[in-house]
Each structure stands twice: as C-alpha cells, then as structure tokens.
Chains A and B, each alone.
Chain A
C-alpha cells in the first residue's frame, strides 16, 4: 500500500487498529448523479444514518455533441455548495467512449487540461478524482494517454481512479488496465437491454458468475459499486426506444394504461403521456431493479469474489426515489457485508 493509499484509508486504519491488526474495513459511500446538488431531507438523513464521509459526485459529462468537432462539458453540476459539509466530495467526470473514438493523442492533452481546470473551478481541493468511461479496445490507447495526462496535472496528492466494467476485468489484456491509482468496479449493467426476454440487465447472478473469477486477479486496487437504481426499458416494434428513470417512471401497475404480460414486463393498453414520456398502444415496458433480497445476493457474490482489502462500497445512486425502495437495514447489511 503506497503512501497515498495510506492517507486515503487513514481513517479506517486508525479505527481498525483497535480491532485487530489484520482486519480490513470497508467504507460506505454513494454516487450522486443529479445536475443540481440540492439534497432532499431523506437523502441527508441517509448520509447521516450510514455515517457517509465521502460522496462520489458527478461534476459533468464530456462528449463531442453531433455537429461539433471538440469535446464539451455537459450537464455541469449546479449548487455544489448544498452538499452537506460532513462529507468530502470526490469529483467524478463521465466521458463518453465516443469522445475518445474521435480524438487523437495530442488532443487528449488539451482535454485533460480542460477537465482538470473545470473540476478545480468547481471545487478547489479534492483527494480523489474519478474518471468514468466505458473505454474499448479501440480507444484504450487514447483514453490511457488522457488518464496519464490527468494524473500528471493532478500531482501526487490526488488519488486518480477510473471506473472499470466487468468485461474490462475479464479481458485485461485486450482492454488494458488503466494507468491510475485505483479502479471502481461497477458490479451492474451486465446484461443486454435489447433482449426483452433476457434476464435482468442490471444484475443477474448467472451473468455475473461468468466474470467473478477474474476480479481477484485484476491489477488495480478496486473499490466497488452496486446498483440501487431502477429503470424501465421502453420497446416499440421490438426495438429499444428509450430508458425511463427516476421521476419519469410510470406506475406500471396502473391497469388503465398497462397490462402485466409477465413478471416485470408490461404492455401499453392505450396511448398516454405520463411524466413527459409518450406511450403508444402495444409498446412494451420492462421494469428492472434489484429487490432487497437480490441486492443482498449481489453484495454477497461480489464480496466472495474480492480479496480482503480496505475498500469503498459505493451505491449507485443517492436519490430518495432509489432509497425509499429499500429497507434501511438492507442498505446497512449491504455495507456491512464487506467488513
């Protein structure tokens, strides 16, 4: 464990020392992924209840919008100051793979400088910076060059992390291992949303099992993220036409508009505009989430796949629309599973 990691986990080591010299400890955390940082009272309660000390906050996305040549920051977070001062904020920047598909090596230097400057403009000091990108074999070279540049600009005091998807863990040679201090394993979105009849695309134990053996061997220290979100996949003429999340979600059990086809699949009975989403007759909705039991199962499976270490357990994402769905004890148990 290098010095930076010692500093990062200093808090635990101090407490862990009371328990046993060899006990590893996990630290609970959440992602915060909205554009406005005003938290509801329920969300603030959650932070207090679970003793959340760090929060991974999406600062902005980066993409090259159609018709433009250069990457732009999009959906920049507003009112960051509203985040309770009991938590330290870890900036997260999401960058589309499309961005790196369209950038050449020299241009990533400019992008890295822009990203770091923008993050610093929003928050002067931070101990960790996370870059989220579902890179591919085609983009790894450019993306990694970008990460190296961000690392260089951030200096030795910032712990740079990158999100890592399961497919990248399974094929580290093909995907490469990002040149960062640590990774954030996203233990979700493992299935295929285009497959209406397929298993839950957010998490499925069968699909997960195809990847779990590779986690221990991964070359980076990993924090882990688990899903507490839900969504509806909307199909029209057997094609996915949208994902509906958060306050756009419809009441799928409202039999005036929907009929239950089978577990979690619903058919639109009559055309209707609901929460800004228009449903045509015969559209199909697939409602996906993890119930309490499934979430615990996912946590246990993940725990078994990890080697003992200090790590953060991060739930995606902090939003009362997600939290309300779970028993408080479930969230507690998920966090404590990793101790």
Chain B
C-alpha cells in the first residue's frame, strides 16, 4: 500500500519557504498537548485497537508514527514461512534467507541443494536449508526468494531515505520480470506460494504504474488468496492505491475503509490513505457498502476526519448498539476539555465555558437511551462535559446514572471519582465541614497509590487542579495553614515571617483531626520536618544560632553537605571554584551552624582572635545568602527559591548580617591589610544590597556607598588595595581607571 506522508488535510510538504510562520498544524480545536492538562482518560472505552486514534496533536497517531505495518509483516512473514517449510527451520535461518542473503547466495543454496558444487558463504552454510525435510519445498522457497529479491529493483520507489539511488529500470526488463512472475504464478501448485507470487505481481504492476493491470489482476485472482491472509490484505491495499492513482477516489476510499476495519497491521496506513475530497464522494462511498457494519465503519472514519457528532448520530441510527461510536465519543470529549485546570480563581470559575452546544445536547440526549450501549462511558462523558459547562444539575443526573457502573473496573471507578470531585469543587463558592465530608470519598480514591498506579489514568493533572482549587477556597477564608497543607506555596512569602512558620509546625502537631484533615495529612506533599528545617534556616539568617541549631536537631537529619567551604571568601565570588576546591572539613547545614556558634564563643573568649573569628563568621553569613558559595544552605522543600532572586523579598538576599560581622572584624583589628580586606568585603555587601533594591529594569553600574570611599581614602597604600584594583572591575570603574 502506498502510504502517504501526512494527514491529507494539510500540505504534504513541510517546506519552509511557504510554511515558516506555521506553528500550529493541529487536527482539531483546543489546546491540549497529548494528555497534558487532560482529565478524561480515553482508555475507558476499553478497545485497545483504537488507541492510535485517540485525540492527539503531536503526531498523526496517539501511539506515534505509522510504520505501515512493516514490523508486523516481517514477523508474520517469517512465521508463515516456518510453518510452510516445517519445524526444523529456525526463525534465525528464515530471517537470514528472507532479509539478509544476497541473490547470489540464494542461487548457491539452490545449487547446493541439488547436490552440485556451490559457493556458499559462511552465513549461508550456518543457515543451510539442507535439513528441511522436504527439499522440494526448500527449493520452491528459494526460487520464490530469487524472484522476490529481483522484484525489489522494480518495486521499491521509496526515496525517503539517504541511501537509495533512484533505480532506473528499462521497460524491457520490467516486461521480462512480469513474464517471469506470471510463469511462476501459473506453475505454482502450493496455494501458499501461489498467493505470494500473486502478491509480488500485484506490487510489480502497481509500482510500474500499470494501474489497470494491478486492478484487474487482483480482481481476477482474488480467489487465489486464502481468506484473511496477510497477502490478500496487502494486495488489496495495492488495488486501492491503484484506484487512487486513477483518481477513482470513491472506490479507493471504500476499499481503504474495508482494510481499516479488517486488517489491524494496516489500520493506521489505511486511515491515512482514506482520503475523500468532496462531500459528494461520501454519499457515493456509502452506496458501495454491502452491510450495515461497513456503513458504520465509513461513518467512524468520517467522524475522525470531519465531524464526530454527526458521525456518531449516523452510526447509532444504523445500529444503536454499535461500539464504533465509543472512539468518537472520547475524542469529542477530549477535544472539548477546555482548560478547566487553569481556572482555580473565582473570576475564571464564574465564566461559563463556551462548551460546544451540539456536543452537550448530543450527550444529554444519548445518555437517556443507553440501553444497549456501553453506558458508563456515556454517563461519565455527559457528566464531565456538563460540569465543564457549569450545568451541575445535568451533571449530577448523569453521575447518579454512572454510579451503578463505577465498580466495573478500576479505571471506571477512578474516572467516576475524578469527575465527581470536579463537579463538587467547581460549584463551591466556599468550603465548610459538610463540603469537606462530601469530598472525602472521592479524594480517598483519587489520592491513593493504587489509583496513581492505574495505567493511562489521567490523574496527575486532576490532583493538581483539585489541590489548587480547594486551597484557593481555604485561603479566602484565611485558613492559611490548611491552605498550605493542601497546596504548598499558595501564599508565597508567608514563611519569611517566623510566626507563620511556627503556626504551620504547630498545625502538624494538632491531635484532633476531622476525616478531611486526616486525608490531607495522609497525602500531604510536605511534612513537618520540611517546615522545621525552614525554621532553622530562618533563625540562622537572623543570627539566632542557638535556636537554629535546636530546630535543626529537632527535625530529621539532613545528611547533605554544603558544596564548598562556607568560610571562604574572595575578592571576586566564584562558586564553582569553591565547590571544586578540596576541602578538609565538609559541613552539613547543622554542622555549619555548630561551627558558627563555636566561632562566636571563641571571639568572645579570646579577644586577640576576635577579628579573625568575626571575619570568618561574616564569611559564613555572606555565603549563606544568594550571593555566597553555600546558597544550598537555604535550599528547602518549602521554599525552593534557591536559584532565583526577587529583590529583597526574601531573607536569603539580605547581606546585612554579613556586613555587621565584617564591620565587627574591622573594628577588632589594627592590621591595615586585614582592615582593608574587611572594608572591601563590607563594600561587597553594600553592592549586593544596592542591586537588590534598585528597580528591576536598572541596567547601570553599581553606585558606590561609603566603603569604596573609605578604601580609597584609608587603604590606598596597602598591597590588598592593588589586588582589588587588579580583580574588581566595579572598583576600577569607581576609580575611573
């Protein structure tokens, strides 16, 4: 079958001169990218053969590209030959002869089997056909192979590969090949071989553009094919392609619909080839059908290409119990799912979706008369689309009908609870205890591990939406801890305030819990230890080191070590250098705090070493900010702002504590070189604060405060001063150098 390179709706070429601006070549409306954002699992129809046709935007098929059945054919072909030749032949050997052996080796094997001296290669010897019981069969296999392999020169117009060169064959040689084929075909006695020769001839006619002959040959010899054999279906594909080439689209499309329905390995390919051009062709195509089922198939294809609702109505008119509508139904619902997921704030929620009224009417209509259909998918679809449309009464009616089927399998059950939760939450203006109670059964199912493990179930997006939506309602009520518990991070900066953090920790210690709270704690995304660690970090940032240490100790042990020595400092920050440098002592967060406490004690106990200790402590505080080599210190599951900065809204961007200790170090020292160093480090803190407080669009240089002035005035004679000039561009700019 001649496979077309893309869906016929659009251009066959992707060429850019015409198409540079195109980013969307979608097959239907909406924004979905595969199942991202979708909450409706099409697999509920439980008909795996239709999986490729689930709604998708990325590729022609939900399960990827079409290989025109090539891999299936290879396997089938091998199996069929093994059964023909008899069991002593291994799959490996057959594959070798079918796909790897050269024409010369095929000839040599024939000679060898006939007992004459041959020129077999090592591989051919390894896979010799000698042990095959009936050597006549082996010889007929080899003769066929010889013919088929020669045929490849004539029938392989596949130019979409790097290797091939267009084969130029003369008319005479084609005629010869056809004559040879006909000869083999006539003489072949075994039906197995006969239909293979017929298939080869069919290909030969098609690829040599003798379409009349391809059509008549198939028609005249169709009885030679065994019913439903792969050869018959593949040859039929060439007949359809020949009709297509002759612009006999109606008949061609009709045959493609038969192949689409009847032979799974060619299902995708037939779907792509099926290609009606004008409305009138539909009627003509339908007129060719020989049974109701064939009509249903045509309408299913029409639904895939054109309008799913019209198609479903037609199919059900023909056969109210048809399962061919199921695919179209879930496609229609998947196309309709608008971004419910983005509407977690009230303004958006109040806007009614512009749901396709046709679909809505159709679904409501159909679910009234589902006696012989697969009822659960109709009720769930109708409920879902009604809920999306904010028609909760209609949705509830459908859910009540769906309920009795919900336990038919795990997927149905989960989808039921998902849609149920969606309907309940979407109508909530506020949340109270009774609303909570109502949600418990649905969320118990949705959040459970068993549900997450159900293959294909589109639950992650639903869970995210549910959490966000409920969190929004609690936040409106001012129940910030519950808000945080359901959807961490809803109030972004609340934990810059230690009081809020302590309240959150206390919430985790609450002993009397409602069922709803129990559920939330059971499936909480963060735990108490995460908040306790953040508390320890916040204490440290405020220089409340003892409290910080206590908090670190009360939380769970964090074995991760900081990537560099947090007590190191340079004129120019270089985190990578610090992280690569060898370290004698490695610090965990807790060990880092312990060391700071020890240094503070030492500074007080030994005034002669105070300046050094204060300097190291300052380095520690510097390095635990956004600017330091130990930024990892404030990495935490509650506040994971480690790689971003947001202009002084968070403690980690404040260099004030480092500045305080650099100034204490400066004061405690009389060594001019050391004092120069402390002053420069103070200038760095000043600079960081400058850049954190200027307007976001500020593009200029650092405007120095007091410490560059002090450096120039008091320390210009020091060695350190000349090092700063060498390394620090800001300072050179300041000096005008």
Report A's interface with B, CB cutoff 8 A: 31, 33, 35, 58, 60-61, 63, 65-68, 72-76, 78, 94, 96-97, 114, 117-118, 121-122, 132-134, 163, 165, 186, 189, 191-194, 201, 225, 229, 231, 236-237, 239-243, 245, 271-278, 280, 316-317
7 smallest beta-carbon distances between A and B, as pairs: A76-B159, A66-B59, A114-B162, A94-B15, A237-B29, A278-B306, A67-B64
User: Would you call B29 and A241 a contact (CB within 8 A)?
Assistant: yes
Q: Which listed segment binds A: B274-282, B547-555, B694-702?
A: B274-282
User: Would you call A274 and B279 a contact (CB within 8 A)?
Assistant: yes
One of A73, A75, A133 near B16 (C-beta < 8 A): A133
Q: Closest approach, in angstroms, between the C-beta of B50 and any C-beta of chain A?
A: 19
User: Would you call A94 and B16 a contact (CB within 8 A)?
Assistant: yes
User: Would you call B18 and A245 a contact (CB within 8 A)?
Assistant: yes
How many B residues touch A, CB cutoff 8 Å?
46
B1-42 vs A: 1/0 string, CB under 8 Å? 000010011111111111111111111111100000000000
User: Would you call A276 and B277 a contact (CB within 8 A)?
Assistant: yes
Cα A277 to Cα B59 in complex, Å, equals 19
Any A CB within 8 A of the CB of B511: no
User: Would you call B29 and A240 a contact (CB within 8 A)?
Assistant: no
Cα A30 to Cα B12 in complex, Å, equals 21
One of A63, A192, A239, A278 near B305 (C-beta < 8 A): A278
| 7 A-B pairs with C-beta separation under 8 A | A72-B161, A76-B159, A133-B16, A186-B17, A192-B21, A237-B30, A239-B31
Interface centre among B18, B28, B58, B279 (most CB of A within 10 A): B18
Interface centre among A94, A273, A275 (most CB of B within 10 A): A273
Extra 8 A-B pairs, beta carbons < 8 Å, given A74-B160, A237-B30, A276-B8: A35-B13, A94-B15, A97-B16, A117-B162, A186-B17, A239-B24, A273-B282, A278-B306
One of A186, A225, A278, A317 near B9 (C-beta < 8 A): A278
Report B's interface with A, CB cutoff 8 A: 5, 8-31, 58-59, 64-65, 159-162, 165-166, 275-279, 281-282, 305-307, 310
List chain A residues, Cβ under 8 A from B58. Answer: 66
List chain B residues, Cβ under 8 A from A118. Answer: 162
List chain A residues, Cβ under 8 A from B9. Answer: 242, 276-278
User: Would you call A273 and B16 a contact (CB within 8 A)?
Assistant: no
List chain A residues, Cβ under 8 A from B28. Answer: 236, 241
User: Would you call B24 and A241 a contact (CB within 8 A)?
Assistant: yes
Q: Closest approach, in angstroms, between the C-beta of A208 and any C-beta of chain B?
A: 15
User: Would you call A74 and B277 a contact (CB within 8 A)?
Assistant: no
Cα A316 to Cα B10 in complex, Å, equals 19
User: Would you call A274 and B278 a contact (CB within 8 A)?
Assistant: yes
Nearest opposing residue in chain A for B281, CB measure: A273
Nearest opposing residue in chain B for A275, CB measure: B277
Given contacts A117-B162, A192-B21, A273-B276, contact A243 B307 (CB under 8 A): no
List chain B residues, Cβ under 8 A from A237. Answer: 29-30
Cα A165 to Cα B275 in complex, Å, equals 35
User: Would you call B277 and A273 a contact (CB within 8 A)?
Assistant: yes
List chain B residues, Cβ under 8 A from A273. Answer: 276-279, 281-282, 306
User: Would you call A66 and B17 a contact (CB within 8 A)?
Assistant: no
Cα A94 to Cα B10 in complex, Å, equals 18
Cα A66 to Cα B6 in complex, Å, equals 12
Nearest opposing residue in chain B for A133, CB measure: B16
List chain B residues, Cβ under 8 A from A58. Answer: 13, 15, 17
List chain B residues, Cβ under 8 A from A72. Answer: 160-162
Q: Closest approach, in angstroms, between the C-beta of B336 and any C-beta of chain A?
A: 11
User: Would you call A35 and B279 a contact (CB within 8 A)?
Assistant: no
Cα A231 to Cα B22 in complex, Å, equals 13
List chain A residues, Cβ under 8 A from B162. Answer: 72-73, 114, 117-118
List chain A residues, Cβ under 8 A from B310. Answer: 271
Cα A194 to Cα B16 in complex, Å, equals 17
User: Would you call A61 and B15 a contact (CB within 8 A)?
Assistant: yes
Q: Closest approach, in angstroms, between the C-beta of A133 and any C-beta of chain B?
A: 7
Cα A273 to Cα B17 in complex, Å, equals 27
User: Would you call A33 and B18 a contact (CB within 8 A)?
Assistant: yes
Cα A45 to Cα B21 in complex, Å, equals 32
List chain A residues, Cβ under 8 A from B25. Answer: 241-243
Cα A73 to Cα B17 in complex, Å, equals 16
List chain B residues, Cβ under 8 A from A236. Answer: 28-29
User: Would you call B306 and A193 a contact (CB within 8 A)?
Assistant: no
Cα A75 to Cα B8 in complex, Å, equals 14
List chain A residues, Cβ under 8 A from B279. Answer: 272-274
Given contacts A134-B20, A276-B9, contact A67 B59 (CB under 8 A): yes
